Structure 1
Amino acid sequence: MNLHHVHAIIRKQRKDTLRNKPTLVQFVMFPAIAAVLTLSAGDLQLPPRYFVNLFSVMYVCMAPILIISAIISEEKEKGSLRMLMMSNVKPMEYILGIGSYAFVLCMIGVLIMGLVGQYPLQELPVFLLLNAGGVLISSIIGAVIGVVAENQTAASGLSVPAMLVTSFLPMLSMFNESIRKFGQFLYSQQIYEQISVSKTPLSIDSVIIVVVNLAVVLIVYVYMYRKKHLLA
C-alpha cells in the first residue's frame, strides 16, 4: 500500500467537497440543527442533551452512507475512478483515502455536537468513541452501496432506505416497544441507548452487537467487492 496515493486521494476529496456543495452540506447539516435546537430549547422539560444525542446518531448513520456511496458512484459514472486505477492507485488505497477523509470530517461534526451538549471531559471520549463506531459501520455500508450501484441515481435509491432504517429506528423505538425489540440488534440503536446513559459503564452486550454489525457489513463488502469489483 502506498500512503502517498492515499494522501493524494484525501487531497482530491477535499477539493471536490469544496466544489460539491451538497456533499459539504451533509457534513455540517446535522451538527448545525442539533446546535440550533439545543440552544433554542430553553426551559423545555427534555432529557439531558436530548437533541445532541438524537441528531448525533442520525448524523453518523446517514451522512457517511450518503457521502461514501455518492463519491464512489459519481466517480464510477464519470470515469475518473477508472483513471485512478490506471494511474496505479489500488482499490484499497482509494477506499482508505475517501473513507478516512469522510471519517475525520464526520468526527469533527460529532465533536462539535459533544461540545454543544456540554459533555464533561470524562464522558466526551465515550461519546466520541461510540459515534466513531457508527461512522465506521455506516461508511462501509456506503462503500457497499457505491460498489453495487451502477450510477448516482441508483446509489441514491439504495442509500435512502439504508439511512431510514439505521437512523430512524432509535427515534421510533422510543415510542414503540415492538420496534425497539427489533432495533436492538442494530448498531444505531445500541449507540443511541449508550450515549443516552453516558454516566454508566458501556454495556458489554451493546459492544458485542456493534462489533457483530461491523463484522457483518465487512463480510458483505468483501463479498460484493469480489462479485462486482470497484469498477464494475
Structure 2
Amino acid sequence: MKFIALFQIQLKDMIKNLQTCLLFFVFPAIGFIMSSSMKDQSSFFIVVFATMHVVFTPMMIMVTVLAEQKEQKIIRNLAYAGIPTSQYLAVHSCLIFLLTLLFTSTFLVFPGFSLDPLSFITASMIGIIISLLFGGCIALSTSSMTSANALVMPIAMLFSFIPMLTEFNEGLNKIALILYSKQIGILMTDIHQADMITLIVLVSASMILLYWFYHSYQKSIKEDV
C-alpha cells in the first residue's frame, strides 16, 4: 500500500512540474512533425527521435527530480516517516519508466512507421532502464541540484544526439558503436541486427552503472540523505 500511495504522490508532483511534463512531449512531437513532413524517410526520423527520447528524457527527469528532493531533504524525511530510500527510488524509477514508455509508444502510430513493434518496444525498455540508472548515478553522486544539472546536461546531450550524427559520418559511426544509445537505435530498427558488440556494450554499460549506483547509494545512506 505504501508503494501505491507513494506512486500517486510522485505522479501528482510530477504533473505539477511543467518543465518535467514538457520533456515527455518534446521528442515525440518533433518526431511526429519530421516523419509526417518527410514520409519517405519516416523510419529514419522515428528511430532517431525515439532514441533521443528514451535516452535524454528519463536521464534528465531522474536527475532533476531526485537531485531536487535530495537537496530539500525530502528523501531523508520520508526515511524518518518509515519509507526506505530504496522504496522511494524504486517508485520514482517505475513512474519515470512507465511515463517514458507510454510516450515512446506513440511512435508506433506515427505516419510511415514500418518497424517491428516488438523490437522497437523491447529496445525502448532497455534504453529507458539504462538511462534511469545513469540518471540515478549522477543524482546520487552530486552534492547539489546545481551540480547535478550541470553534469547531466552535457552527458544526456552526448548520448542522445551522437546516434543521429553518426548517420552522416562513417568515422563517427564506428566510434559511437561503444555507446549504449547507438546500440539502442540499432535494436529499434531490428532486434535481429544485434550482434556480439551490441551484447557487450549493453551488458558492460549496465554493469558499470549498477556498480556506480550501488556505491553512490551506499554513500548517500551513510550521509543520511
TM-score, length of structure 1 as denominator length? 0.88
Of 52, 59, 75, 1:58 maps to 52
Report matched runs for 1:1-150 at 5 Å: 4-42=1-39, 45-46=40-41, 48-116=42-110, 119=113, 123-150=116-143
2:105 maps to a residue whose letter is L
- Indicate the residue corresponding to 1:212 in structure 2: 204
Q: Secondary structure at the match of 2:128?
A: helix
- C-alpha displacement of 1:218: 0.8
Q: 1:185 to 1:82 in 2, by over 3 A?
A: same
> Are the aligned partners of 2:119 and 2:187 in contact in 1 as well (CA < 8 Å)?
no
CA distance in 1, matches of 2:24, 2:192: 29
Q: Which is further off, 172-181 or 216-225?
A: 172-181
- C-alpha displacement of 1:119: 4.2
Question: Are 2:150 and 1:157 aligned?
Answer: yes
- C-alpha displacement of 1:117: 5.2
Question: Are 2:166 and 1:166 aligned?
Answer: no
CA distance in 1, matches of 2:167, 2:193: 20
CA distance in 1, matches of 2:208, 2:141: 17
Unaligned segments of structure 1, at least 5 residues? none
2:145 maps to a residue whose letter is Q
> Are the aligned partners of 1:52 and 1:117 in contact in 2 as well (CA < 8 Å)?
no
- C-alpha displacement of 1:182: 2.2
Question: Are 2:216 and 1:224 aligned?
Answer: yes
CA distance in 2, matches of 1:141, 1:180: 22
Q: Secondary structure at the match of 1:213?
A: helix
- Seq. identity, %: 25
> Are the aligned partners of 1:5 and 1:93 in contact in 2 as well (CA < 8 Å)?
no
Q: Secondary structure at the match of 1:49?
A: helix
Which digits, 9 at most, give the CA deviation of each residue in 1:146-195, with x for residues without a partner? 11222221111011121022111211222223322221111111111232
Q: Which is further off, 102-111 or 187-196?
A: 187-196
CA distance in 2, matches of 1:226, 1:94: 15
2:14 maps to a residue whose letter is T
CA distance in 2, matches of 1:143, 1:209: 19
- C-alpha displacement of 1:207: 3.2
2:66 maps to a residue whose letter is I
> Are the aligned partners of 1:68 and 1:143 in contact in 2 as well (CA < 8 Å)?
yes
Unaligned segments of structure 2, at least 5 residues? none
**Number of aligned residue pairs:** 223
CA distance in 1, matches of 2:210, 2:112: 34
Structure 1 runs (4+) deviating above 4 angstroms are 117-120
Q: 1:193 to 1:54 in 2, by over 3 A?
A: same
